[in-house]
Structure 1
Amino acid sequence: MALKRYSLGAGSAALLCLCGPVLAGAQDTATGLIEGAQLQMQNRLVYEQLDYRHGSSFRATNGARGKTRARESGYGLMLNLQSGYTQGAVGLGIDAHVHGAINIDTQPDSARATPRYVAKNGQDIPRSFGRAGAALKLRVSSTELRLGEMRTRNPIFNSSDTRLLPETNRGWLLSSSDIPSLALQAGRFTAWADRNSRKNGGKLLANYSGANGDAFSFFGGTWTTPVKHWSLSSYAGQYEDYWNTWYLGSAYQLELAHKQALALSFNLYRNRDTGQARAGVVDNTTFSLMGSYATGIHRFGLGYQKVHGDTPFDYVNRGSIWLENAMQLSDFNGPGEASWQLRYDVDLATLVAPGLSAGIAYTRGTGIDNSRLTPIYASYLGYAGSNGRHWERDLLLRYTLRQGAAKGLALLLRYGVHRVNPAQGEANIDQIRVQAEMPVQLF
């Protein structure tokens, strides 16, 4: 679909018109700025080792090339304040956050030139780094407008929180749940802070072209249908002067018998160049379909994903890819790529210990054609050739304490293996990641 250059003023006005005070809304129960406030502290400790195999190597932060093993470790502390709302027809409030991190034992000669967890300053890795931000919020009924620095969650502009610190964005976000069964969003963002950024306000970045942009705008929402356990989502967005994005998603679960269920998940993205088309010709349609069967403590899944187009499926923000085969080490989103996934998850609470779970997945992609990449993708990725193929194997163990003084403490172990042929373009990697998280509700 063709979207014109816009600031989404029309989209936000439409949301406001739809969200009149017909029904009682969340603002009716406002208790005040202080009375409704919450302050949470999240502690996170991460260690990761990436072992590059079979000819793969990386360039270290200090400039040394040909390294085969990268290691990083760090501690992150996140304070998140959510105020309540003032009482009245229009409620006012503020959300604020402070994110800080300490480099534990990451050395310049063992961290990648683009570190995954810690910050970088030239060829140096600082001992500590952090940033802070805030957003003003206004609420009428159950419709809220936020302005400032914040995190977002939707399939085309989603803030990732899979590393040491979460990423944030600067702009405005309008969300509403005033219409029964509909959750609506519209927004426009003009700046970004990556997960290891030392400050806010960086230019937006696309993951696979490396293209910096001035703005990303979007609108859409999710409809909880009258059919039990079935929801539909649709979003439209624009990466200004690069491409338009349209998304359609669906999730459905069918209860079969006691502790048995079938689930289906479908995600479809459509990207087409727009405006000055600074990434060149973009004409990409990518979809994924995942089916799973759960019985007792076991869940078995089978997924398929397909990319149609001469460029990878590209996206802005690290987490804006809700495709089922976007795995730990690869997104399986190469030009023309088709991929399959087999996965198995088990809840080990009754067999081993309460709070323990595990999962394993195997994903294989073939048919990748990097021979027709547009110049911006070819220069950024450095991929070439056709008939690319690769596979990935992932293992996850998670243990969460459910009671006691350390209730909520989560321990994670990830092990991943990724193997490629030369035409695929990524690296042969063995990954080990150990992570510990401890949330504390201060008030």
Structure 2
Amino acid sequence: MKKELSLIALSLFAAIPAVASQQSDSQGFIDDSHLNVLLRNAYIGRDYQQGAQDRAEWGQGIIAIYQSGYTEGVIGFGVDGIAQYGVRLDGGRGRSGAGGIDFFKQEDDGRAKSDLAKFGATAKMRIANTVLSYGTQRPELPIINSDASRLLFESYTGAMLNSKEIDGLEINAGYLTDEQRKSDDRHDSGLKSLSFGGASYQFNDQLSGALYASHVEDVLNKQYLGLNFKQPFSTGQQLVLDFNGYNSRLDQGYANELNTGRSNSIWSLAASYIWDIHTFKVAYQQSSGSTGYHYGSYRDRGGVGDGGNTIWLANSYWSDFNGEDERSWQASYGLDFAGLGLPGLSWTTAYVRGDNIKTAETSNGKEHEWFNQVQYQVQDGPAKDLKLKLRYSVLRVSNSASDYNVGGNEIRAYVEYPFNVF
């Protein structure tokens, strides 16, 4: 992996004249520094069906992120830091511990942590428009995506390279050796190593694409392809086509642990039509192979360890509709209330239906989900950028597919207030 990173870096430096250098515009370590704080109050409750125990967790978190500028010169140096603290407001009495919620890790006695403090730091170096960093990392890529959708952030430890030397082209590569789960301050989540690389490219104003690959040691190899096309019309309307696809091959030992096959291909194609304040979307998603699509969770819990949001597919809400051989259809509608005199308020509803799920009991398991989300962001005044989000999902899974997924009703309620200190 070190050899690959060196070759990538050399090729990028050769292309430096292609665009203006960000490093040459550096104002210095202090002058370009920023400190941002996020206050987040989050609740997720799940009323499971099919005899499963209900789960719920509620917490208050504070996340402070410091980003320094770069020292002036041909090579710039800087340091970033992150501090996170969470307090459990509810989730005891046997209701904590759901893998999909994961606010506060359960201790050996079965009780959830009452509070949680996490810290991380990253050293970084920039040449022209290329940044090499080592330390706490929070990648947001289709092939490895740290989960920031719960109370506190998931993170990794390792080296990453990001380059934007050529106009429209962004290259990312990395080698990670530790994963720190969202709900704990320890780094020993069982990950041995994860290496990845790839690029995204903006071909023109309408078409963009991305191609990535990753290797999780002793777990799997995965490739991703994404394409996005936007067609605006003179009427102000717009058609958006979005394709996302993954191809995975599990390590034989990992497949044996899960008692499943080794190969999976999954893809989705979504078509959205934006008409003034309305967004209409239809999507189709198809999984094929000898196993379902595997991602996220933690190695010491039998998961992949590549990030809780590493599923850039159209039909991923509460359920991901990623079972073995599953196919699913979606119809959704979104409304931006700004056109009705209420800027900052939006509503999205979606219905997804999946079938053909292969399990030990059947070759045609079924599931369907009705998703609703209302979100409001304050536009001005003392509470500017305060965001309120309420989400409700109804998921039903056929009894024959209960070893793949469990249905129920889910509520998510978030209050978030981000602000800039300097």
TM, length-normalised to structure 1: 0.87
> What CA distance in whole angstroms lies between the structure 2 residues aligned with 1:47 and 1:236?
34
- Alignment check: 8 A CA contact 2:135 2:158 kept: yes
> What CA distance in whole angstroms lies between the structure 2 residues aligned with 1:423 and 1:240?
33
> What CA distance in whole angstroms lies between the structure 1 residues aligned with 2:389 and 2:250?
40
- The 3 A distance-change label for structure 1 pair 278 and 57 is closer
Residue 334 of structure 2 aligns with an amino acid whose one-letter code is D
Tell me how far 1:201 sits from its aligned partner.
4.2
Residue 149 of structure 1 aligns with an amino acid whose one-letter code is T
- The 3 A distance-change label for structure 1 pair 307 and 417 is same
Number of equivalenced pairs? 402
Moved more, 329-338 or 253-262: 253-262
- The 3 A distance-change label for structure 1 pair 25 and 418 is same
Please name the residue that 2:80 is paired with: 95
> What CA distance in whole angstroms lies between the structure 1 residues aligned with 2:13 and 2:354?
44
Tell me the C-alpha RMSD between the 2 structures. 1.6
Tell me how far 1:314 sits from its aligned partner.
0.9
User: Is residue 2:312 matched to residue 1:322?
Assistant: yes
Question: Which of 71, 75, 80 is matched with 1:86 structurally?
Answer: 71
Tell me how far 1:253 sits from its aligned partner.
0.6
3-state secondary structure, aligned to 1:349? helix
Residue 286 of structure 1 aligns with an amino acid whose one-letter code is I
Please name the residue that 2:291 is paired with: 311
1:289-315, CA deviations, whole angstroms, 9 ceiling, x for partnerless residues? 000111010000000000111211112
Question: Which of 197, 201, 216 is matched with 2:194 structurally?
Answer: 216
Please name the residue that 1:74 is paired with: 59
Please name the residue that 1:45 is paired with: 41
- Alignment check: 8 A CA contact 1:147 1:173 kept: yes
Tell me how far 1:120 sits from its aligned partner.
2.0
Q: After the TM superposition, which parts of structure 1 deviate over 6 Å for at least 4 consecutive aligned residues?
A: none
3-state secondary structure, aligned to 2:255? coil
3-state secondary structure, aligned to 2:23? helix
Tell me how far 1:15 sits from its aligned partner.
3.6
- Alignment check: 8 A CA contact 1:288 1:303 kept: yes
Alignment of 1:124-143 (within 5 A): 124-143=111-130
User: Is residue 2:216 matched to residue 1:239?
Assistant: yes
Question: Which of 178, 196, 199 is matched with 2:183 structurally?
Answer: 196
Q: What are the ranges of 5 or more consecutive residues in structure 2 without an aligned counterpart?
A: 296-305
Residue 93 of structure 1 aligns with an amino acid whose one-letter code is G
Please name the residue that 2:298 is paired with: none
Question: Which of 318, 324, 337 is matched with 1:335 structurally?
Answer: 324
- The 3 A distance-change label for structure 1 pair 301 and 12 is farther
Please name the residue that 1:209 is paired with: none
- Alignment check: 8 A CA contact 1:146 1:173 kept: yes
Tell me how far 1:386 sits from its aligned partner.
2.7
> What CA distance in whole angstroms lies between the structure 1 residues aligned with 2:69 and 2:417?
24
User: Is residue 2:337 matched to residue 1:348?
Assistant: yes
Please name the residue that 2:302 is paired with: none
- The 3 A distance-change label for structure 1 pair 12 and 292 is farther
Please name the residue that 1:26 is paired with: 22
1:405-438, CA deviations, whole angstroms, 9 ceiling, x for partnerless residues? 0100000000000000122222121111111000
User: Is residue 2:228 matched to residue 1:251?
Assistant: yes
Question: Which of 361, 364, 373 is matched with 1:396 structurally?
Answer: 373
Question: Which of 1, 11, 30 is matched with 1:17 structurally?
Answer: 11
Tell me how far 1:385 sits from its aligned partner.
3.5
TM, length-normalised to structure 2: 0.92
- Alignment check: 8 A CA contact 2:97 2:106 kept: no
User: Is residue 2:141 matched to residue 1:154?
Assistant: yes
Tell me how far 1:106 sits from its aligned partner.
2.2
3-state secondary structure, aligned to 2:343? coil
Residue 436 of structure 1 aligns with an amino acid whose one-letter code is V
- Alignment check: 8 A CA contact 1:19 1:176 kept: no
User: Is residue 2:415 matched to residue 1:436?
Assistant: yes
3-state secondary structure, aligned to 2:401? coil
3-state secondary structure, aligned to 1:350? helix
1:170-224, CA deviations, whole angstroms, 9 ceiling, x for partnerless residues? 11110100111100001011111121123334323xxxxxxxxx11111101010
